[in-house]
Structure 1
């Protein structure tokens, strides 16, 4: 996402700073700036503009919906050579002071002029976390979907190969967002796993792709859960994709379980600040 800048020395913006950002999305109306709403991008813009003392253009790797978290979101900001000279330590300390406690910049890179966190990304990875058991998760509750009934992971895993490759994912896109827009995407990886958070066993679904549609990951998860509950067979996933119709898919899973885990860039493009 970008916003027009009235910085009168725009010709002096000869480099780019790239920030790796983590946030708890529980209190935000998504990443993208919206009038009258508290958003992650709005807080980042305010903090960075306070330090640089000028308007900025800010581009993100991927917009997350309201309530969705991030472990490694990336944003890019064009800067001057003088601004590029600010040290990593100064950036991290300043952002810690200027940002709310549920947003953190945890790494700062320099990149070439014109680098874009969005357009130079090769792939993006999301993980959805589910606690499928009788007992309510406690310490991890803000970052998982508590699903009271056990899920058949083998059945859900059997449905995952249908997601791979470049194809039309319109069935998993929010209807209003699909109107007049391309809905083909390429999924590289889609797999289930397990992790332990604060002593609690969590079921994970990780998906990597070149890009994702609005609510695509959460709707895929909701569809997989229908299979995991034995309401549908694994082969149903193929039928849903081929339908190219949002009503063919399962419900959209809650936002709380989803986290933006990272972005794949050319390693030579990003250099950690000194």
Structure 2
């Protein structure tokens, strides 16, 4: 088996915009256990085959098991000769080497030292719900199917208290918050009803500077308690103020969550032309 070369002195950075259907993966990040399939593991294997060297990846956000992405950004240091690879060649190589559930959408160049994680200004997630008695078919693996209608107006009013800089300890996995800062800045939230593949969906969109482990899914699970009229709208603000995971609602399933976008400073990423 051919030995991979050690990475040389980095001159710049290559950034990939990645999309994936996360249902068959144990999240984005690679795991220490053998035999665990992850998005990062598949991507790193493909890149190392293509570039014939070791690659260290940095992602914009580590999605949980089963979560999907339309715009996950991944960066890694590049050698001089790799900066001359055309976008068409990148896309064809990655299409051949990656499983069908993962696809590179765009390729960028960035300055040396760029980090897909630390240079991100904001991240956007979209959570989709099918709140109707008839079962979704074409969107089945991309929505949380609830067999009853939700009061999305009440959910929107309840979600308004989440906007701004807050301690979101109530809305993250308890074990992940131990000894770590849990303050985040949520910039916007909103609900919208629409039609995807001919099926009605209720979409919740949230944008923030960063997110805690399971934060979006816990917020959605909490808001559904309001939308189903099991809880008052004021309960969400009370749960937020409690800074206690037990004060909030259940964690929504991973199926409906999509990592939808990342914002970076203007001019930092240079897209490669096809």
TM-score bracket for the superposition, by shorter chain length = over 0.9
1:161 CA displacement:
1.2
Decide which of 13, 16, 21 is 1:16's aligned counterpart: 13
Match of 2:183? Answer: 184
Answer yes or no: is the 8 Å Cα contact 2:6–2:54 preserved in 1: no
Gaps of at least 5 residues in structure 1 are 1-5
- Is 1:255 the counterpart of 2:254 in the alignment? yes
> Aligned equivalents of 1:173 and 1:131: distance in 2?
24
Match of 1:3? Answer: none
- Is 1:243 the counterpart of 2:242 in the alignment? yes
> Aligned equivalents of 1:237 and 1:145: distance in 2?
20
How many residue pairs align between the two structures? Answer: 268
Gaps of at least 5 residues in structure 2 are none
Match of 1:130? Answer: 129
Match of 1:29? Answer: 26
1:113 CA displacement:
0.3
Instruction: Please give the root-mean-square deviation of Cα atoms over the aligned residues, in Å.
Output: 1.0
Match of 2:83? Answer: 84
* TM-score normalized with structure 2 length: 0.96
Q: Partner of 2:267: helix, strand, or coil?
A: helix
Match of 2:50? Answer: 51
> Aligned equivalents of 1:41 and 1:81: distance in 2?
24
Residues 77-134 of structure 1: CA deviation (Å, up to 9, x unaligned): 1001101111100000000000000000010000000000000000000000000000
* TM-score normalized with structure 1 length: 0.96
1:200 CA displacement:
0.5
1:195 CA displacement:
2.1
- Is 1:208 the counterpart of 2:210 in the alignment? no
Match of 2:197? Answer: 198
Q: Structure 1 residues 8 and 54, CA, compared in 2 at 3 Å: closer, same or farther?
A: closer
> Aligned equivalents of 2:258 and 2:41: distance in 1?
19
